Amino acid sequence: MSDNITRSTALVTALENVTTLSPTTTQAINDTNITVPHKCLLLLYEDIGKSRVRYWDLLLLVPNVLFFMFLLWKLPSARAKIRVTSSPIFTTFYILVFVVALVGIARAVVSMTVSASDAATVADKILWEITRFFLLAIELSVVILGLAFGHLESKSSVKRVLAITAVLSLAYSVTQGTLEILYPDAHLSAEDFNIYGHGGRHFWLASSCFFFLVYSFVVILPKTPLKDRISLPSRKSFYVYAGILAVLNLVQGLGSALLCVDIIEGLCCVDATTFLYFSFFAPLIYVAFLKGFFGSEPKILFSYKCQVDEPEDVDVHLPHAYAVAKKEGMDSGFYSSTQIDTTAYLDDVALYALSCGQHQQHRQ
């Protein structure tokens, strides 16, 4: 009898212990089964301390602020160079780079100040799309203007190119924004805040592959038979620019493909490419195409003109895009020296103005 009582007591105690431990055990199991946000997803929405400022927004804000301050510092000399040359292409690029830096700053600041409400999320995504619109417009403009430099003769032709790129960029951004707002990607949601997903994994993959093919084709153009039929930019920086964007889109496409097959590590790839693109694309444009133009020292004051009256839509003397050397005796290598060869262009303008001034003095 005593043994039975002892066994019964032990059984009751064991059951009580199981009952007591069951909620804790269940909670631990539930915590394990809950999808813990990946560190690359956590980076996109985690706040700094108790503030509403996210690490991601701060990472994107700092480079844009620094670059904008640099543009302001260079503004006086840049305006002087633009007034001297009256080049619509360089003026347009400079304005677009300025706008991209401003929009990037505005997007980050607004995202830092809004709450996690649905309206704030939509506003944040719209700002992302506006930024993407300007970046893509510059992308397309650089490619088209770079490849068609030898065929652009007036301001009106440059305006037509910009209009076409604006329409294409708008169509892309509207499509991406519609997918992003109406059909958000569930894989890019965290807590009560839906992360900007660039139109979703599948749209991201398709667009990345498309742009990778475009930029890869631009890079290999000088190796194709087309080099004998069309004038190609020979400035190395043009192809370096295209190569960088090709690699960027390749990595972004691989990351998107991993996300499409539910491999969350792909998010780390697209995080890196997104940060590089939205933070350093505008500086890349400046270094590749505008640095030489604004940084070259003028050889002479450009205040002498041989002609006083000019028509309203005067031909623009654009820097020539020379064909890649392919004949005997033209030992210029694979990429030589002029895509948008701004230094040589300014030298030509200076020599032309100097010769005109000397001619007038001789006549007097």
pTM over 0.85: no
Residue 347: name the closest of 302, 289, 305, 288 by CA.
Answer: 302
Q: Tell me the domains of the chain and their CATH numbers.
A: 39-295 (1.20.1070)
pLDDT (tens digit per residue) in 188-218? 655 545 567 777 788 889 999 999 999 999 9
- pLDDT category at 89 given cuts 50, 70, 90 is confident
pLDDT of residue 95: 85
CA atoms of 115 and 9, how far apart (whole Å): 57
Between 361 and 290, where is the model more confident?
290
d(Cα 165, Cα 150) in Å, to the nearest integer?
18
Q: Each residue of 174-191: pLDDT tens digit? A: 998 888 888 877 666 555
Q: How many whole angstroms separate alpha carbon 258 and alpha carbon 248?
A: 16
Which pLDDT belongs to residue 224?
86
pLDDT at 295: 64
Report residue 303's pLDDT band, with 50, 70 and 90 as the boundaries.
Answer: very low
Residue that wins the pLDDT comparison between 145 and 166? 166
Q: Please give the distance of CA 312 from its chain centroid, rounded to a whole number.
A: 35
pLDDT tens-digit series, residues 345-356: 445 544 454 455
Contact between 274 and 204 under an 8 Å Cβ cutoff? The reply is: no
- Given a cut of 60, is residue 344 above it in pLDDT? no
b/e sequence 293-308, b meaning 16+ C-beta within 10 Å: bbeeeeeeebeeeeee
Amino acid 282: pLDDT: 87
Q: What is the mean pLDDT of residues 237-264?
A: 90
Q: How many whole angstroms separate alpha carbon 135 and alpha carbon 168? A: 12
Which one has a higher pLDDT value, 325 or 37?
37
3-state SS of 73-102 is HHHHHHHHHHHHHCCHHHHHHHHHHHHHHH
Q: What is the pLDDT of residues 29-87, one digit of tens each?
A: 333 333 556 677 777 777 777 777 778 888 889 999 999 999 999 888 888 888 887 77
Burial of 268 (0-12, 13-18, 19+ CB in 10 A): middle
